[in-house]
A and B are shown apart, each in its own frame.
Chain A
Amino acid sequence: NAGVTQTPKFQVLKTGQSMTLQCAQDMNHEYMSWYRQDPGMGLRLIHYSVGAGITDQGEVPNGYNVSRSTTEDFPLRLLSAAPSQTSVYFCASSISTGAGANVLTFGAGSRLTVL
């Protein structure tokens, strides 16, 4: 059972370049989400999805796009990378969409550096 798989693990971009961070889960989870982790800031929610075709913004959505065409996949797109997007990105999923019962399963993370 693979759980949540993120690719790539490491990426270096130049300012202005675009890229997609991939996230796939094989647990048939309805809820999927993306976070960024920065020193002193903890984890902050970027975007989330409660099912195929349904996405919404989190706390820090600017500069990022998402789509959810299948239950399994939830890619995060950076349209024009900026140095402020240098961070570690985590994808997480959950079987439940109800508040108070939402144990998240995390991927191993993707470390992105924007020069």
Chain B
Amino acid sequence: SQELEQSPQSLIVQEGKNLTINCTSSKTLYGLYWYKQKYGEGLIFLMMLQKGGEEKSHEKITAKLDEKKQQSSLHITASQPSHAGIYLCGADIVAYKYIFGTGTRLKVLA
């Protein structure tokens, strides 16, 4: 069973539109991490959330972790073609053992 549920699985948006990706766990997380993967490449770290209610932003991407530390959202404002790729949430529920969601494929149409 997938311990981190990610939705939607894929997303196609017009350039300039906002979008949200969700990541949900049935367990309380030590930390929640967001990564981006360009097609055919490795993962690049975006943001880490550790505290319940925490929110972080970088350029046009904002990530939030709910108070219970079981759900996170990644919001992109005014999407651009450079935002295209696969977004994955990751978490360490148990020390040293990292799990990932199945990923969200984002395509941004120019």
A is bound by B: yes
A contact residues vs B (CB 8 Å cutoff): 4, 31, 33, 35, 40-45, 48, 50, 56, 58-59, 90, 92, 97-109
Given contact pairs A41-B102, A45-B99, A105 touches B45 in the complex (Cβ within 8 A): yes
CB <8 Å contact, B42 and A106: yes
CB <8 Å contact, B45 and A42: no
Q: How many A-B residue pairs have CB under 8 A?
A: 73
Distance (whole angstroms) from the CB of B69 to the closest CB of chain A: 10
Which A residues are in CB contact (< 8 Å) with B99? 45, 59
B contact residues vs A (CB 8 Å cutoff): 2, 4, 6, 29-31, 33, 35, 40-45, 48, 50, 88, 90, 92, 94-103
Give CA–CA (A49, B2) in the complex, Å: 23
**Extra pairs beyond A59-B97, A105-B45 (18, CB < 8 Å):** A31-B96, A42-B2, A42-B102, A43-B43, A43-B88, A45-B99, A50-B96, A98-B95, A99-B30, A100-B29, A100-B31, A100-B50, A102-B92, A104-B35, A104-B45, A106-B35, A106-B42, A109-B42
